[in-house]
Structure 1
Amino acid sequence: MTAVAADRIASAAQARSVATRLAEEFAVGASERDRDRVLPHAEIARLSASGLLAITVPAEFGGADLPPSVVADVVRTLAVADPNIAQIPHSHFVYVNLLRLAGSAEQRQRYFAQLLDGARIANAQSERGGATVAEIATTVRPIGHRFRIDGTKYYCTGSLFADLLAVLTRLDDPEGNAGLAAGEYIAYLPTDTPGVRIVDDWNALGQRTTGSGTVEFDDVVVERSQLVARSGAVNAPTGYGAFAQLLHAAIDTGIARGAFSAATEFVRSKSRPWFEAGVQRAIDDPLLIQRFGELSVAVVAAEATLAAAGAAVDRAVESDRSGRLSALDRADSTVLKLAGETTNSTAVDAVTDASLAVATAKVLADRAANEVSAALFEVGGTRSAAGDLNLDHFWRNARTHTLHDPVRWKYQHIGRALLHEIAPPLHGVI
């Protein structure tokens, strides 16, 4: 595990202050790291040592237990400075949340202690070759009292910096030898586990330094205590998907703000006015003033909607925590159907509201990040396209990260909820 002396963060104010300080540090050299694909190992080590990666550890285990809205604000702040660094811990926070929702007491005790000491989690979940992204070929099979994992994962963001991999697997146990329910399991594996091979082959046009390459698993042996059933988080109204999507929206919103700030600075200091404007300075061109007003509205709207979505996810998480029912209570409770599951209606309402609020935030963040990062050149003029300036890294990062999941489906879920009163599905991606 990473050997760091991690600080302990105790409040939302402290988390925001630390994030702001680190963002100022990370902004220095961010463009050069992107251009030359210099992996931010030192920066990620500082992020771990700051204690920010442990801010969602529950209070009962010694953590700050900060709500999703604060995590989103931290991620947004980092993304303004360097969206690569902001994306690297995305899966970390998601799989800490999975442990909170579905891990056993022993698993939470073990892994939360490591997180408080600065450990980092990365995902190993996406695959290629299936009919859709939802099909999982990587299997976990019982072998005696242990399990074996075989398969290959792609887009494993943060894997080059991680101590633990959260590996999405499908249980392959037709004889029922393991005594586990059928379904998907997350295996928490130390990155130095025999049979694990992390490949530095990420070559996308943007988000170049996120370490999102390939991870191969060949006869990897794990213990039962390393497996967590994913169903505990995604088959109930827990806000698991809304939280994960909120952080994606935070990254895109941060990119939009970063691109807007760069555009403002460039036009103020380097751009020349168009001759037809009849002004001495570019900033006095009335058409540029108009365009900057439009771009500002897009960025501020994304930021405001992100904040509103964060508050909605906070309410969903709190509703889930306070409203979890025992099996006996559940039998007598008011229930309704959400994506085929029978659940407490208060929690359903809160999670539905959160998912729709996050879907709205995701749409506006996607739009702002792509529009503003492209408009940077429109308002900056020919000089802004100089290769040595690398201003295109804002657009490349926006275009790459917003491919994570299509916003066209966000519109669908919002429309169905309004017209047909159909709650969004529980699949972890809304």
Structure 2
Amino acid sequence: MTVVTAERITTAAQALSVATELAAEFAAGAAERDRTRRLPHEELDQLSASGLLAITVPAVYGGADLPPSVVAEVFRILATGDPNIAQVPHSHFVYLNLLRLAGTRAQQREYFGRVLAGARIANAQSERGGATVADISTVLRVQGDRFVVAGTKYYCTGSLFADILAVLTRLDDPQGISGLDSGEYVAFVAALEPGVRIVDDWDALGQRTTGSGTVEFDSVSVSRENVVARAAAVGAPTGYGAFAQLLHAAIDAGIARGALEAAAEFVRTRSRPWFEAEVERAVDDPLVVQRFGELAVSVAAAEATLVVAGAAVDAAVRSSGTTHAEDDTERDDAAQASIAVATAKILADRAANEVSAAIFEVGGTRSAAATHQLDHFWRNARTHTLHDPVRWKYQHIGRAVLHDRPPPLHGVI
């Protein structure tokens, strides 16, 4: 349970300044935390106390109501320091967006208020055993005037640090007993609720300290007031999926920038030049200089497209308003946002993997020594970019260009 007193951030400039300060602090211990898998509980408390986790809370509820473009830049900055910490609140912001789009006034008042006070939300959505990742077997079962949730969720990023779990469930109620339409719902459940068991079993090669373990729900009781239908957010052109993907692209772009800076520092201070270059310093080797130029262009391209994508998501959010009227402008803005984010995600994925691997290419043999811990950049990049395949981003972009076909409405485009 988070026990902090959270500051209030009121402007974009303040948010970016705080993120920059925290990224520098988090970077100092990132490699060692990764090596020993020391979970960043203290660092997450710092993040909560800073007020950054409440920057999207609507102004009517006392928040800064900052746009997606600013949130993405906060994520990118944090990821340059420690992409593990940057990834932890991804679902936190996605589900705050769900509440903004689909929650009742009472639900918004409750959860936005808790987040302003420092509370953290984590996801419990992915499952194993289905034909695809989109298959959800966890059901909401009606029990009197409440519901019961039972099932197991995997890859629950941030769950070990969470106060609230956003549990993706399915309601099948053809008889109409619950009074709700059948479909997908998110149940907001306290992490300490009886019947909830959070397991620290995340053992990936990268992003080791994201707290992405398994969560088991043993007939957990949930009130109707804590259940939100996804349809209003996911089934309409609200930019919901584009916002979620924008933050993933920001993390990858941050990894790329962090890796580039680490590579440059290593070459400046530790590398020796190749003898055929006939120079005294590695930084004067023309082939090393050439390679850094290429890597810098990759990172700059990722960052530039992230800015463009952020502006497109801002426009989609503005046009969706609060009524969700599906006019042509709303549909067009949502489609453009998804395509722009897909483009940014492709370039950020490419830059993160390329630059984090090239550290060893430009650094030379000594850069591979375990004592330097430079491998964590590549492991983090390779692991995080597995989240959703960029090959499908190319498909959606190509269909938009050739067939003028908008991308589908779901949470990962």
RMSD of the TM alignment (CA)? 0.8
Alignment of 1:82 with 2:82, yes or no, is: yes
Tell me whether 175-184 or 408-417 shows the greater mean CA deviation: 175-184
Alignment of 1:159 with 2:165, yes or no, is: no
Between the aligned partners of 2:298 and 2:253, the Cα distance in structure 1 is 10
Between the aligned partners of 1:173 and 1:351, the Cα distance in structure 2 is 31
Runs of 4+ in 1 over 6 A off after TM superposition: none
Do 2:238 and 2:324's aligned partners in 1 also have CA atoms closer than 8 Å?
no
Between the aligned partners of 2:306 and 2:385, the Cα distance in structure 1 is 15
Do 2:9 and 2:64's aligned partners in 1 also have CA atoms closer than 8 Å?
yes
Cα offset, 1:176, TM superposition: 2.1
- Which residues of 2 match residues 177-216 of structure 1 at below 5 A? 177-216=177-216
Do 1:23 and 1:77's aligned partners in 2 also have CA atoms closer than 8 Å?
yes
Matched to 2:175, the amino acid is E
Do 1:323 and 1:347's aligned partners in 2 also have CA atoms closer than 8 Å?
no
Between the aligned partners of 1:369 and 1:155, the Cα distance in structure 2 is 21
Do 2:120 and 2:163's aligned partners in 1 also have CA atoms closer than 8 Å?
yes
Between the aligned partners of 2:256 and 2:199, the Cα distance in structure 1 is 30
Tell me whether 172-181 or 147-156 shows the greater mean CA deviation: 172-181
Do 1:302 and 1:361's aligned partners in 2 also have CA atoms closer than 8 Å?
yes
State the TM-score, normalizing by the size of structure 1: 0.95
Cα offset, 1:388, TM superposition: 1.5
Structure 1 partner of 2:368: 385
Structure 2 partner of 1:43: 43
Between the aligned partners of 1:191 and 1:157, the Cα distance in structure 2 is 13
Structure 2 partner of 1:217: 217
Cα offset, 1:321, TM superposition: 1.1
Q: Deviations over 1:22-78 (max 9, x none)?
A: 111111111000000000000000000000000000000000000000000000000
Matched to 2:29, the amino acid is G
Between the aligned partners of 2:324 and 2:79, the Cα distance in structure 1 is 34
Structure 2 segments unaligned to the other structure (5+ residues):
none
Between the aligned partners of 1:174 and 1:217, the Cα distance in structure 2 is 24
Do 1:155 and 1:213's aligned partners in 2 also have CA atoms closer than 8 Å?
yes
Between the aligned partners of 1:218 and 1:147, the Cα distance in structure 2 is 13
- What percentage of aligned pairs have identical amino acids? 73
Structure 2 partner of 1:335: none
Structure 1 partner of 2:314: 314
**SS state at 1:210 partner:** coil
Between the aligned partners of 2:343 and 2:112, the Cα distance in structure 1 is 32
Structure 1 segments unaligned to the other structure (5+ residues):
326-342
Matched to 2:380, the amino acid is N
Would the alpha carbon gap of residues 150 and 392 (structure 1) be closer, same or farther in structure 2, given more than 3 Å must change? Answer: same
Alignment of 1:399 with 2:382, yes or no, is: yes
Do 2:101 and 2:322's aligned partners in 1 also have CA atoms closer than 8 Å?
no
**SS state at 2:198 partner:** strand
- Which residues of 2 match residues 281-360 of structure 1 at below 5 A? 281-321=281-321, 324-325=324-325, 343-360=326-343
Between the aligned partners of 2:17 and 2:245, the Cα distance in structure 1 is 24
State the TM-score, normalizing by the size of structure 2: 0.99
Matched to 1:84, the amino acid is N
Alignment of 1:22 with 2:5, yes or no, is: no
**SS state at 1:136 partner:** coil
Q: Deviations over 1:236-280 (max 9, x none)?
A: 000000000000000000000000000000000000111111111
**SS state at 1:29 partner:** helix
Structure 2 partner of 1:131: 131
Q: Deviations over 1:266-316 (max 9, x none)?
A: 000000111111111111111111100000000000001101100110011
Alignment of 1:260 with 2:260, yes or no, is: yes
Q: Deviations over 1:177-214 (max 9, x none)?
A: 10110100000011011110000000000000000010
**SS state at 1:28 partner:** helix
Counting matched residue pairs gives 413
Tell me whether 1-10 or 366-375 shows the greater mean CA deviation: 1-10
